[in-house]
Amino acid sequence: MYIMTDIHSTALEILKKLTLEEKASLCSGSDYWHTKSVERLGLFPVTVSDGPHGLRKQDDAQDNFGIGVSVPATCFPTASLTACSFDSSILEKLGNCIAEECIHQNVDVILGPGVNIKRSPLCGRNFEYFSEDPMVAGKLAASFIKGVQDKGIGCSLKHYAVNNQEKNRMLVNAIVDKRARNEIYLRPFEIAVKESNPQTVMTSYNKINGIYGSENKTLIAYKLRKIWGFKGMTVSDWNSVHKRSKGIKAGLNLEMPGNKGANDRKILEAIKWGNLSVEQLDDSVIKVIEFILQVQEKNEFKKQIKENSSAFHHQQAIEIAQESMVLLKNQDNLLPLNKSDKIAVIGNFAVNPRYQGAGSSRINPIKIEQPLLNLKEAGFNVEFNDGSKIKQALEISSNSDKVIIFAGLTDGFETEGIDRDNMEIPQQFNKLINEICSVNKNVIVVLMGGSPMELPWKDKVKSILLAYLGGEGTGKAISNILSGQVNPSGKLAETWPLKAQDCLSSRYFPGDRKNVLYKESLFVGYRYFNSVNKEVQFNFGHGLSYTKFEYSQLQVKNLEASFKVKNTGNYAGKEICFAWCTPISPVAFVPKKQLAGFTKVFLKPGEEKIVTINLDKRVMKYFNNTSHEFEYIAKDFIISVAGNIDDTDLKQQYSIDANIFNSQAKDKKMTTLSEDSPYRKLSEGINIGEISNIEFAEILGRKPPEFQKTPSRPFTMENCFEDTTSTLLGKLVKKIILIAIKIISRNNKDQRKMMLAAVMEIPFYSLWVCSNGIVSESMMKFLIGLFNIGPRHHNYPRKV
């Protein structure tokens, strides 16, 4: 394990020897993947690379779309799947493996993990994130970071903060009340920072309550550094810097990628005109120097790391996937399969599995396991049809004992830069499954995809295995579970609603061109569905096993819940145990039930163990807007333990000291909500309709902006090409961009869609900076001027 030494005094000595120009230069990268150097003082470039479920190192190409060729690397399961393991050791193992590949490829920092909350199932990048629950996201991210950094490789915890959508992600203003911000959206970052000390934290593109993430002094200087004690370096997301001097003042240390010194010159100008002090610049530069020195210090340590083979990492990818996959349904114990079964395997995913998402996380895998081949190798009698010819698929299915259909989301449905429109899977899958169910009653569906999907045929099939995006070993992992070689133990780390519109957040997602209002506040995921008893497809924490478990003898004391778990079935298996917290007579609005802890236990048939879960006391507290502290929301709580959110038979009351509770300052805004407040109703288990701006203002503390669909002139650096498409010039520019992207993407429709969104939604202030000198600031201002004076399209709204 690498132990970091104190290099602050060395960094101070180097700082004294730097020229002002060198100081400014160290605040941005030299290119996409490297920091700048000052070799005369022993500061050499640091190499960073995309992650987070594998290494995406580009030797020649430079892009953050996943388009350019990257070196071969192990593609591990995405966070959407590994979260379902609820197993810290799994994430630590994953981190170890990725770190070893970084060492082999001379990469110093991996850009991950991502801990953004799954506010909506439609976010196109949800496959990269862990959970809708902040504790789950934070704990698992912390384990991943420990695994990576124990090997001497750094991590970049991202995207800080409130970055929960891809639509208009570089300009949108996330408007969120203080309680939701602190209790939900900042919490996973807080946990990961305090428990694993990531080497870097990456800021987000978006604004948070009107201030860009890269300029947000409250979030960076106050929350991250002062309150949480973060000692590492902060880095911008790629091409996200708005105004560099503001970022320096807020505590943003490093801008990435390099931009040929465009913003370095802005720093020097700001100092020249007194808008930025040398002392403020030094505060940022010292963190960059410390970062570089830490990396250089670790180089000797990394030489001692024994490199495991790619074959070993491939096997680890398989094991991580099979520890995480979720058995959603298993009627009549149809699974595991029998060797005597005649099995029809239907669907192209059986030979070309979907195992990862698109965008900056796309890995160039070394080897891909094929589910069909893996089933054959396991000794099963299978007959395959890709499903394109339904008549043949039906004929094969009708003559088989069991049918395994591979279905899910294809590549174009979820990617960085684009959100989904709905939770539907391609209609050809629905048609195929429905028709096969009409000729065979023993249907098993294996689902591949990074996010929840609508399953209109759920009640017709007997078994459903959720593989999410299982990495390059997904085929073998699926085969091992279907065959019974592995007993499934994964459970959902997010709610699967009946449809996206059922989420309370869906009424306000993804907002308008400028703002997205988080009117649902705390009621995200299960915190909403469980509070109002709203029907879902599958609850948070749902997951079946080939065996059964029984809970008994709960005791709660000293923030620990201890109880017995017994395996009452015939298979050895692992059980994920949850502890839930429900406040009695809370002083402020709160979801009915919140996750207070989790653990995983292995039990042989008939075996019984005492299990202990450490309770997170933060879920017993709320962020007090008056004191700006976390204070107990009630004196008494019900603690329940179970294998899912619905089973609450085993429970016990837990109380805190009355003197502590009574001594707390009460938050007048939260305790005096109007009687008809939607937040009070939700807390009482009453479902609600649309939340008005006036009602949202009651907890926000100010009036939120009204909905604005079409941006109006005058356009500024704060706009993007998408905003100008109501002008004739804007329409022409979009056509030119489309032609260029079609050529660059080589007619790959999925990449074209992602690239178009990226180009059309990149703000003008970022476009000229990231153009590497092709477009100057003056050229960008001239183009904006043309958008402002050119003829309007006939539908363009005129200012009155």
Q: What residues are annotated to the active site?
A: 237
Tell me how many degrees the CA angle 469-470-474 measures, rounded to the nearest 5.
Answer: 130
DSSP β-bridge partners for residue 18:
none
Six-digit token string for 791: 């003829």
DSSP β-bridge partners for residue 405:
346, 445
CA proximity to 111, closest of 162, 61, 153, 59: 153
363 phi, psi to nearest 5 deg: -100, 145
- Quickly list H helices, 416-473: 427-437
HSE-up of residue 679 (Cα within 13 Å, Cβ side): 29
Six-digit token string for 309: 């083979």
SS3 for 45-76 is CCEEEECCCCCECCCCCCCCCCCCCCCEECCC
Backbone conformation region of residue 152, classed left if phi is above 0, alpha if psi is from -120 to 50, else beta: left
Instruction: Determine the 3-state secondary structure of 166 from DSSP.
Output: coil
DSSP assignment string, 244-309: HHHHHHHT--BBSS--TTHHHHHHHHHHHTTSS-HHHHHHHHHHHHHHHHHHHHHHHHHHTSPPPP
Q: How far apart, in whole angstroms, are the C-alpha atoms of residue 740 and residue 734?
A: 10
Q: Where are the strands (E) in 296-370, listed by range? A: 326-330, 342-346, 364-365
Given a contact cutoff of 8 angstroms between Cβ atoms, the answer to whether 147 and 95 are in contact is yes
| Amino acid identity, position 609 | K
DSSP β-bridge partners for residue 343:
382, 402
